[in-house]
Structure 1
């Protein structure tokens, strides 16, 4: 049974992300936790007070959570889908971290909005903070993402990290879930070969994929001066539906997601991104 967490601010964007994930996991047994976090100041409790808040505190948000929860439950006909609503007060990241531990969350799903979906820096928004500060796999759904089952998955990598069991298992689960083709893509500058560590990691990944997915994967080596531009073009040309990356390789992740000059998201704004943690 997979446990999935949906932090929501009741926006259409967060609702789209939830709908995308429920469709993605339509045939898998899942516990879906729908979480809304308000500031502690809205709870009706003073920081030094032991007085319980009145039951009517923040009633509009409770109504929104109830309405959102009721809508979400109509999206699934799978009897093995279970929905739990959570309303907490405090710091968003702290609450998400605690929920991940308490509920044994396997995946967090969040929406990103427009071309500035992660705001001004990888550390400067809710999605970016969850990505870098919560050790849990994160699926980010852009507001323009098409609601469909992925058939082409890209895995951009610079081969600088070792592919642990948890990373490979998460990739395998997504392949099994979607029956998609996996496209491993590496971009290096012309005339710059892979070093020994990169070659070892590449060989390990190749052997793993050949053993399990011989006919449903491909390896692509691209030569380009700008890694980000090459990956973006690859996503377009190959009609990629989902991109998978590894959080451990944060420098590579940030290089692809952000233009270092204007510091705004520059990756595809319609393709979901799954970031894996070990």
Structure 2
């Protein structure tokens, strides 16, 4: 039984994240915890998380009603009788609330709905995403507002091969591949005209050995063209999920928080899985 935590501000982005979660985990038993956090008894917008809380301010009574309605909708929408839903309310900021529930409920994954990119507004998921990634040690799936679950064809793992892949990273990746019987496409972000060092070669070899019984392949993109290279890779290889290790914060910021000035289309529909060691 998996335990999944989904923060909500009752916006369309949050609703979409819940819908995506129901489809993504459709085949396995799951306890879904739908969390709303607020301070001083109201749905107030904390400036620290301004990119996330963009719905109208509601009273505590309305919050409770909205959560109940959300749970009812989930129970109607799910096709799996082993999906259970629980409403959570916290009078604290988002990171504190998530950290508490991750510990108490033994959460396996956090799913966060976000605004996708548009041609007139580059993707910026707000400081809340970085806060949760850096301060909560739990795998986080980031679901763009335009993401729709249509199955998982290929899963990308973006890496520079500079870190040792510890058990948590490998087990989360392996579990993700097995859940949808999907191939792994390892994408190396390389410096210009640079060859792999001995350490990088060893780390790449470890990935090849560990996933030897699963379909996988290795690819690379030049660092200076990271956003464009990954966009092309996502489209060419029909990538349904992009995964990355949380310690590679520079990559995460480039891919998720500061995309190229030009329109990067994968931000609008491809979820990201950020894995902690």
Shorter-chain TM range is 0.7 to 0.9
1:240 corresponding residue in structure 2: 239
Matches within 5 A, 1:23-62: 23-42=23-42, 58-62=60-64
Q: Distance in 2 between matches of 1:32 and 1:272?
A: 18
| Match for residue 169 of structure 1 among 168, 171, 176 | 171
CA distance in 2: counterparts of 1:88 and 1:41, whole angstroms: 9
1:146: how far off? 2.1
Q: From the superposition, tell whether residues 117 and 65 of structure 1 become closer, same or farther in structure 2 (CA, over 3 Å).
A: farther
**Any stretches of 5+ residues in structure 1 without a counterpart?**
44-56
Normalising by structure 1, we get a TM-score of 0.85
Aligned twin of 2:135: 133
Q: Is the 8 A contact 1:152 1:183 kept in 2?
A: yes
Residue 22 in structure 1 maps to residue 22 in structure 2: yes
Instruction: Give the structure 1 partner of residue 56 of structure 2.
Output: none
* TM-score in terms of structure 2 length: 0.86
Distance verdict in 2 for CA 1:270–1:217, change over 3 Å: same
CA RMSD of aligned residues (A): 2.2
From 149, 152, 161, the equivalent of 1:150 is 152
Partner of 2:219: 220
Unaligned runs of 5+ in 2: 44-58
Instruction: For residues 66-103 of structure 1, give each alpha carbon's deviation from its aligned partner in whole angstroms, at most 9, with x where no partner exists.
Output: 11111111121322211111111111110110110000
After superposition, where does 1:231-270 map in structure 2 within 5 Å? 231-259=230-258, 268-270=267-269
Quote how far apart the aligned CAs of 1:257 are: 2.8
| Partner secondary structure for residue 70 of structure 1 | helix
Count of aligned positions: 257
1:103 aligns with 2:105: yes
Larger Rg over CA atoms = 1
Query: Using the alignment, how far apart are the partners of 1:117 and 1:222 within structure 2?
Result: 21
Cα deviation, 1:30-57, whole Å, max 9, x if unaligned, reads 11101111212539xxxxxxxxxxxxx6
